[in-house]
């Protein structure tokens, strides 16, 4: 959903799973029918706007925390966001607003390998966003689609049409040309982003294998979106605490004056709420429209997000870099439409 590679609340890494796998998208669409929202006029438009605003805001707020405040404890940021999500989802479940599966030891054992990849995906996303501008992160994340498509071909013997491969080739070209023309090129940031692409693709491919097994060990025989949010974020907390010590963020946290600023805590908490908001708005949007519309809107949503990132953070940009970014974003739209055509034919 959304683009959880940037946030800390979602259980899915982003549009990638929906674009790569119609089955997962359909499962989520079926789950969303269990939660009937209050009738509001033109809910499809409202839910789409809510999804777009929450997903864009999540990325921009994260970028603001990391670059605007120059916060150098990315793992702690992820940990706090996930803690906010766990508290909110647990409270909603306790009051009967949503239903979640109990976290049994059997379920935890099945889900733990996926969760390790999930945590790595979030951390590398934060590390890359710290050093790379939003537009280039968006373009570089297209490489995830390439890795996932190759994984599908070799692991699941899934056939992709020529249009899909052509779009993937365009994504690679745009990523390379974007990096070459990036005036704010940061080698460490680009390295983290490439690692993130592999982890995100691994999460997508591994999730498909684990989902069916996980459903078998739940009491209801199902695993809805809220249960996955709670499961992923709860399991990420102990691992996150270990990584905070491993990366020596404790020393930084004890010295930084940011933790004594109420406004900083407000922004951090907002990022946690926005991450969870993506989960809710995604389910609402899927219920009102469908996986196909959701995928297309998610792809188109990257265009205003990229330009907002350039304007808000005053990113130095050349004409060549601008067209590389635009080229990559359009390649993403072409890829989405090609995947939708494949899905309809199958």
Give the pair of three-digit tokens for residue 86. 């766990």
Q: What is the pLDDT of residue 289?
A: 80
Q: How far apart are CA 114 and CA 202, in angstroms?
A: 9
Q: What is the pLDDT of residue 84?
A: 95
Give the pair of three-digit tokens for residue 341. 């055509």
Residue 238, classified by CB atoms within 10 Å of its CB into exposed (0-12), middle (13-18) or buried (19+), is exposed
Q: What is the pLDDT of residue 56?
A: 94
Q: Please report, in tens digits, the pLDDT of each residue of the chain (346 residues total).
A: 333 434 434 444 444 443 333 344 445 545 444 444 444 557 888 988 999 999 999 999 999 999 999 999 999 999 999 999 999 999 999 999 988 988 899 999 999 999 999 999 999 999 999 999 999 999 999 999 999 999 988 888 888 889 989 999 999 999 999 999 998 899 999 999 999 999 999 998 888 788 888 888 888 888 888 888 899 999 999 999 999 999 999 999 999 999 999 999 999 999 999 988 988 888 788 878 877 677 778 888 899 999 999 999 999 999 999 999 999 999 999 998 888 888 777 6
Q: What is the pLDDT of residue 9?
A: 43
Residue 5, classified by CB atoms within 10 Å of its CB into exposed (0-12), middle (13-18) or buried (19+), is buried
Q: What is the pLDDT of residue 94?
A: 93
Could you identify the residue written with the tokens 């689609």? 145
Q: What is the pLDDT of residue 292?
A: 66
pTM of the model: 0.84
User: CB of 148 within 8 A of CB of 183?
Assistant: no
Q: What is the pLDDT of residue 218?
A: 86
Q: What is the pLDDT of residue 219?
A: 82
Q: What is the pLDDT of residue 14?
A: 41
Candidates 32, 118, 127; CA nearest to 76 is 127
User: CB of 5 within 8 A of CB of 301?
Assistant: no
User: CB of 254 within 8 A of CB of 72?
Assistant: no
Could you identify the residue written with the tokens 């939003």? 134
Candidates 195, 39, 48; CA nearest to 132 is 195
Give the pair of three-digit tokens for residue 118. 């999930």
């Amino acid at each position: 959903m959304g683009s959880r590679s940037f946030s800390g609340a979602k259980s899915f890494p982003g549009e990638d799973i929906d674009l790569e796998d119609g089955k997962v998208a359909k499962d989520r669409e079926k789950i969303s029918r269990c939660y009937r929202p209050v009738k509001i006029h033109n809910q499809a438009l409202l839910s789409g706007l809510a999804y777009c605003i929450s997903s864009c805001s999540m990325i921009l707020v994260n970028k603001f925390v990391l670059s605007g405040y120059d916060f150098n404890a990315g793992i702690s940021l992820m940990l706090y966001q996930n803690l906010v999500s766990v508290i909110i989802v647990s409270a909603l479940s306790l009051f009967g607003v949503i239903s979640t599966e109990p976290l049994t030891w059997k379920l935890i054992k099945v889900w733990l390998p996926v969760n390790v990849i999930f945590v790595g995906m979030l951390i590398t996303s934060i590390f890359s966003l710290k050093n790379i501008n939003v537009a280039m992160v968006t373009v570089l994340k297209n490489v995830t689609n390439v890795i996932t498509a190759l994984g599908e071909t070799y692991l699941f013997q899934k056939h992709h049409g020529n249009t899909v491969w052509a779009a993937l080739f365009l994504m690679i070209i745009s990523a390379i040309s974007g990096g070459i023309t990036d005036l704010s090129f940061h080698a460490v940031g680009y390295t983290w982003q490439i690692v993130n692409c592999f982890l995100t693709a691994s999460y997508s491919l591994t999730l498909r294998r684990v989902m069916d097994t996980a459903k078998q060990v739940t009491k209801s025989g199902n695993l809805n979106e809220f249960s996955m949010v709670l499961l992923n974020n709860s399991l990420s907390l102990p691992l996150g605490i270990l990584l905070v010590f491993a990366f020596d963020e404790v020393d930084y946290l004890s010295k930084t004056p940011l933790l004594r600023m109420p406004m900083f805590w407000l922004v951090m908490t907002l990022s946690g709420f926005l991450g969870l908001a993506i989960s809710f708005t995604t389910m609402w949007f899927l219920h009102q429209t469908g996986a196909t519309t959701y995928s297309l809107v998610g792809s188109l949503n990257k265009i205003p997000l990229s330009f907002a990132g350039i304007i808000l953070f005053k990113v130095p940009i050349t004409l060549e870099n601008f067209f590389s970014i635009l080229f990559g974003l359009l390649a993403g739209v072409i890829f989405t439409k090609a995947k939708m055509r494949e899905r309809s034919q199958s």
